[in-house]
Every structure is written in structure tokens, then in C-alpha cells.
Amino acid sequence: MRVLLKLFVFLLMWSSVNANADTDAMQLLERVGVAAKKLNYDGVFSYQTGNKLQSIRIIHRADEKGEIERLLSLDGVAREVIRSNDLVTCIYPDDRSIKVNRRPLGRGFPSDLLSRLSSAVPYYQVTLGKQGRVADRIAQELVIAPIDNYRYGYRLWVDKESDLLLQSNLIAGDGSVLEKFAFSSVSLGIPISDQILKPQVSGHAMSWSRTEPETSANMAANKGISKWRVVWLPEGFVLAAQQNRLKASNGAAVEQRVYSDGLSSVSVFIEKIRARHSHLHGGSNMGAVNAYGSIIGAHFVTVVGEVPQKTVEKIGASIRYVAGENQ
């Protein structure tokens, strides 16, 4: 469930906001970030990408201990996510496994988007739009347009009464909607009991795995031994993560780099060619995610991201093998 992997910290240094930001729009965006963390709510939202549609229930509580929320898949395979501040537990009853991940960003609706946007404001224009209705509530539209055509934009609808984010559309350059999150119903300011926040899974022998974000030291070490250089990136994109621990299905080591402007991100995968191993060559897409594959210096190079096709192609075409020179 991609949405469960797509509310946590929203910190924005307003003194550094540039001319792209409309004052009223930015003040509303700040209130939206506070509301996402401080409100109690219980609602159902839908997530649509391409021709896939999922319905998810979210229960969120804020108190003196911080935030806790529970998300439940309402269709398809039964899945749950429990988030307690920065600790996220993903539960998959069908395969009897539980995965626990401590991350710098929570993965839920709607605060993940808001927290990522906080560091990306210089690369997007934020303005007020029209008023509308979402989940039978009056909502104010916020338009978030990129400064160039190398990334997507957003249209947000914010509850006029509570400042809770009710809907988010990911917008392509031609104005089409690539992905959509939207509440169909939501109850605000209600008491949330401990019981309703507990996962409804029992009687299984669960397996647990814990993964930590790569440390700055590890990233620096990987960066230092890399023989690859990405020559071109959209303005604002910087190296956010790097690792060499991945293994391809044929056993070959894979180097992965993640570049991000804070809101949008692109992954670069580099893998040495092995016999009888197929690989993407040229462009491909699935919903909002585009990919571009090529062969460089006896290596398969793949660029994947929730950005336009032209972006992954231009990044892919700029990658060079430069032994002894670092990105």
C-alpha cells in the first residue's frame, strides 16, 4: 500500500521564505502543519494513482506524549500501520509479518506531504486558490506550482474550520491529476481511546525487522568510493541518501543514490551487467512514477522518480563513469 508508505514534523523557517510564496498562502500552510499534528480525528480517505483506488481509515490522536495514529486498509489485502511519533509499525496479517521502521519523517496522510514541503518551498510557488467542498466541509484551495517543468505540482484543499488538510492532488505539467488523496468522511475534535488505536491482529507468529536510516557517516563513506557522477540535476535537488547494500535478483551488488529537493525525489540505481540479465532500456512509467534505463560502462543505470519523464531522462543522460572523481 503505497499511501501507507507515502504526519510527522512540519518545521518551516518563515524568515527564509522567498518571493515564490504568497503571505496569506504561507500562513495557511503553517496552520495546516500545526493542525495535522495537534488535532484528534477519525476519518476515511481514498488514494488513487492511475487506475488503482484504495480506501483507508485513519485515526489520529495528539496528547502530552506526542502523536499516535492508526491506518487500516479497507479493501484488498488487510494491512495496518501504527505510528507513535517517529516509530512506524507496518502490519501485514496475510504473510504474518511486521516491519518496524524508525524514520525522520512519518508516513501517513496528510502530514508527510506537509513536512516534505517545508524544505522545498524555494522551488515551488504557493498561492491561494478557490473555495470548494471536500467530505461535506468547506475547504480553501492551495496551489503549489513548481518553478520549472522538471517536477510536479500540487493542489491542496484545507478545511476552513480546523485547517486540516482534506485533499491533495499531484498535478502534471498539462494539468492532469496523477495521484489523489481525499477524505470522504472525517470526525474532528473527538476523544480517541487507547483501544481504537491498537492493531486488530492476534494469534499469529509475527516476524519483526527494524531498519534505520543510513547515517551521515555511512553516506559520506559510500560517496567517497563511488566511481559515478551525476552531472545534471534540477535546481534544488541534492544527494539525500546513498547505499551499496542492495542486491539484484541475480546477486550483483547495486549502488543506489537518492536525490531530492525536499518534496520530490529521484533514485539512481547502478548495477554491473551480468549474462542473461534483462534490464529496462529507454523510458517507462507507472502512474506518477517515471523511469529511464541505459547502459554505461558495462553497467545498467536506472533512474526512477515521481517526477516527469523528461527529468529522469535528462538525469540518466548526464551520468558519467569517472574513476577517482566523486559526485
Q: Where are the domains of the chain?
A: 2-210, 214-321
Percentage of the chain beyond pLDDT 90 is: 49
Q: How confident is the model at residue 250 (pLDDT cuts 50, 70, 90)?
A: low
Judged against a pLDDT cut of 80, whether residue 72 lies above it is answered with yes
CB atoms within 10 A of CB 272: 15
Judged against a pLDDT cut of 60, whether residue 208 lies above it is answered with no
Q: How confident is the model at residue 88 (pLDDT cuts 50, 70, 90)?
A: confident
Q: Tens digit of pLDDT for each residue in 149-175? A: 999 999 999 999 999 999 999 999 999
Report the pLDDT value the prediction gives residue 111, as an integer from 0 to 100.
Answer: 57
The radius of gyration computed from the CA coordinates of the chain, to the nearest angstrom, equals 21
Q: Which CATH architecture has domain 214-321?
A: 2-Layer Sandwich (3.30)
For residue 255, give the DSSP letter.
E
User: Could you give the CA distance from residue 295 to residue 282 in angstroms, rounded to a whole number?
Assistant: 10
* Closest to 119 measured CA to CA, from 311, 304, 260: 260
Cell of 170: 499531484
Fold of 2-210: outer membrane lipoprotein receptor (LolB), chain A (2.50.20)
User: Could you give the CA distance from residue 295 to residue 269 in angstroms, rounded to a whole number?
Assistant: 12
* Closest to 308 measured CA to CA, from 173, 161, 126, 133: 173
Residue partners of 220: CB distance under 8 A and separation at least 6: none
SS3 253: strand
Within 115-262, strands assigned E span 124-134, 137-146, 153-159, 165-171, 177-188, 207-211, 228-230, 238-247, 253-260
- pTM, to two decimals: 0.80
Judged against a pLDDT cut of 70, whether residue 2 lies above it is answered with no
Q: Tens digit of pLDDT for each residue in 234-249? A: 999 999 999 886 666 6
Residue 280 sits at φ, ψ, to 5 deg, of -65, 130
Q: Which residues are bridge partners to 44 per DSSP? A: 57, 185
Q: Kindly give the residue spans of alpha helices, DSSP state H, lying in the chain.
A: 2-5, 23-38, 111-120, 216-225, 309-318
Is 214-321 in the same CATH topology as 2-210? Answer: no
Report the pLDDT value the prediction gives residue 315, as an integer from 0 to 100.
Answer: 98
